[in-house]
Amino acid sequence: MPYPYKTTDNYYQRVFAYFATVSLCYTRRMRVVKLELDHFRLYERLRLELDTDEVCFSGINATGKTSLLEAIYYLGTVRSFRFAEDRDLLRHGANLFAIRAEIERADERQMLALTYSRGGKQVAVDGERCTRLSELLGRLVVCLFTVEDLDTIRGSAARRRRFMDLLLAQVSPVYTKAMGEMTSTLRQRNAALRAEPFDPVAVAVWEAPLARACAAVTALRRSTVDELSHLAPQLFAELSGSQHHLALDYEGAIEETRLPAEQLEEPFVQLFRKNRERDRRRGYTTKGPQRDDLALTLDGSDLRRYASRGQQRLAMVALRLAEADFLGRHTGTKPVFLLDDVASELDDTASSRLLPALRERVGQLIVTALPDDLDRLGIQGRIMQVEDFQVTPTT
């Protein structure tokens, strides 16, 4: 097992869980109190008040439930969770879309806005235009579980890197900046690797700045994964009622990643130097955080290959719950948790345990469900009917 959780960590795990619970009691809650959409997906114009901590959008298929969650998520992360291009989000025939939300954190309220046209994206906070899109990050603290989340576990490493990237982008401007630097220096080094005639010096000049960015990215991903790996196994056991042990580990390009960022720079410099010839032959940088993975195991075996689909799904839910805790701790705010169509994904036991586990950890719970699944989920808050591009409160 890559991380010696079972043998040494029981005591620390309990202490950690205690402090995590205590600190969460003092955490402020985040809520979306108003949502406004113009020409977003199938919505021409939507004005919606959300006045409870628990909201369920209920409706039959293709009525626009997931699109509502997508809009909220977009404001939090400036990305669509559906891997959609921005222009796909434009209502057919429109040339501009807007998403606005009034959010509440403790007693503070803020109006976040994002507009997209073919000219690009613009964001504003309380009516003031921001110079950079990243200024929106971290304001609406948000977490999401969807049906497609299973791909995070079953799919390629890119999906799991994305999981880490989206999470860290919400808590660490340092991470966002380092990722930007890593991407641009990688592009430069790759271009130099492919240049004719080949000039090793032109490749080498990018290696020190690339190593600096890689070191920052790796250190933050490593500590995040370590933190999640304290929480997720416990949550997995809680939801499944089983003794199976879920474990997480960060698989980096260099051997020892549990070091401060400054001490990771040199190993990366050496890695790039060592691989220069091979990278030259391949035409790109073959090793680095751009290829890393988050390894998931159940009782020591690869979760992707040996666990049942049900177990994989529960592992993903546990990861998302751990993420909500993580966000709570690092932002001082219990996040808004978006849960898309989960009833169709989980068995009765897990469904009935999920919402109570979530209620403790999140500021607001926004759920979508088919009308037939409402009872199984045990929704306590307001139910809103989604039909013909209209959303109307029913309870």
Binding site for Mg ion (CB under 5 A): 65-66
**Closest distance between Mg ion and the C-beta of residue 61, in Å?**
7
- Site for ligand ADP (CB under 6 A): how many residues? 15
Nearer to Mg ion, 65 or 105 (CB): 65
Interacting span for ligand ADP (CB under 6 A) from 60-68, 100-108, 211-219, 349-357: 60-68
Which of 126, 268, 116 is CA-nearest to residue 186?
Answer: 268
Which one of residues 59, 267, 288, 381 is an interface residue with ligand ADP (CB under 6 A)? 59
CA dist., res. 334 & res. 21, Å (int): 12
**Region class of 48: left (phi > 0), else alpha (psi between -120 and 50), else beta:** beta
Contact between 118 and ligand ADP per CB under 6 A: no
Contact map string, positions 14 to 43, toward ligand ADP, x by CB under 6 A:
---------------------------xx-
Contact between 63 and ligand ADP per CB under 6 A: yes
CA dist., res. 113 & res. 98, Å (int): 7
Contact between 62 and ligand ADP per CB under 6 A: yes
Nearer to ligand ADP, 37 or 219 (CB): 37
Contact between 46 and ligand ADP per CB under 6 A: no
Contact between 65 and ligand ADP per CB under 6 A: yes
Angle subtended by helix axes 65-77 and 157-171, to nearest 10 = 60
Nearer to ligand ADP, 41 or 334 (CB): 41
CA dist., res. 165 & res. 201, Å (int): 31
**Closest distance between ligand ADP and the C-beta of residue 69, in Å?**
8
Which one of residues 48, 75, 90, 294 is an interface residue with ligand ADP (CB under 6 A)? 90
CA dist., res. 285 & res. 299, Å (int): 34
Which one of residues 61, 308, 392, 394 is an interface residue with ligand ADP (CB under 6 A)? 61
- Angstrom distances, CA of residue 287 to CA of 88, 221, 275: 33, 16, 8
Residue matched to tokens 């992707």: 304
Nearer to ligand ADP, 80 or 380 (CB): 80
Contact between 58 and ligand ADP per CB under 6 A: no
- Contact partners, residue 230, CB within 8 Å, separation at least 6: 9, 12, 13, 16, 17
Contact map string, positions 330 to 369, toward ligand ADP, x by CB under 6 A:
----------------------------------------
**Closest distance between Mg ion and the C-beta of residue 272, in Å?**
44
Pick what 90 binds: Mg ion, ligand ADP, none; C-beta below 5 to 8 Å, kind-dependent.
ligand ADP
Contact between 55 and ligand ADP per CB under 6 A: no
Contact between 100 and ligand ADP per CB under 6 A: no
Which one of residues 66, 146, 311, 333 is an interface residue with ligand ADP (CB under 6 A)? 66
**Closest distance between ligand ADP and the C-beta of residue 105, in Å?**
27
Structure tokens at 233: 């196994």
Angle subtended by helix axes 309-331 and 348-361, to nearest 10 = 10
**Closest distance between ligand ADP and the C-beta of residue 160, in Å?**
24
Pick what 33 binds: Mg ion, ligand ADP, none; C-beta below 5 to 8 Å, kind-dependent.
none
Pick what 41 binds: ligand ADP, Mg ion, none; C-beta below 5 to 8 Å, kind-dependent.
ligand ADP
Contact residues toward ligand ADP (CB under 6 A) are: 41-42, 59, 61-67, 88-92
